[in-house]
Amino acid sequence: MALTIKLKPGESLILNGVFVENGDNPTEFRLLNKAPLLREKDILREADATTICRKIYFLLQWMYFDEANRLSGYQSFLKMSMEVIRAAPSTCDYLDRIQNLLLKDRYYQALKETKRLIKYEDELLSHASQPLQDLPEEQG
């Protein structure tokens, strides 16, 4: 079954490892076989990988397109996951789901789960950056 892709003017995607940017007009094309594909909304650029969970997403994105280097990428994923779990044990379930998807070669689904992890990381970081309230003043 073919996958139909519609691109808006200027919209981009990565198809089989190639970054494609649409021109000035809407475009529609069909993929007749299976190939790794990420639409613009799912692409994370390296400069935007500013937190550990975003770095995991960037790594998985690379692994999705670079089958030859997946083993070394997986080893990096395991190291990064341990760092995240040490800092925030509550992330363990997310990382377990991601790992299971990677072991089944379901990279696109692993990326979707990593987006959920990033959302959770953002929540944790927002709590950490809130000022402490109602602390007793230091007596001197």
Averaged over 111-118, what is the pLDDT?
98
Distance CA 121, CA 125 (A): 6
Distances (CA, A) of 127 to 39, 72, 89, 124: 31, 34, 16, 5
Q: Is the pLDDT of residue 33 over 80?
A: yes
What pLDDT, on a 0 to 100 scale, did the predictor assign at position 130?
Answer: 63
**The whole model's pTM is what?**
0.86
Hey, what are 12's tokens? Answer: 């981009």
pLDDT in tens, 59-101: 999 999 999 999 999 999 999 999 999 999 999 999 999 999 9
Distances (CA, A) of 135 to 26, 71, 131, 139: 57, 49, 10, 12
Q: Kindly list the domain boundaries of the chain, sorted by start residue.
A: 3-42, 46-128
C-beta of residue 110 within 8 angstroms of C-beta of residue 98: yes
What pLDDT, on a 0 to 100 scale, did the predictor assign at position 47?
Answer: 96
The rounded mean pLDDT for the chain is: 92
Distance CA 70, CA 62 (A): 9
What pLDDT, on a 0 to 100 scale, did the predictor assign at position 92?
Answer: 97
Distance CA 75, CA 136 (A): 46
Q: Which residue has the higher pLDDT, 100 or 29?
A: 100
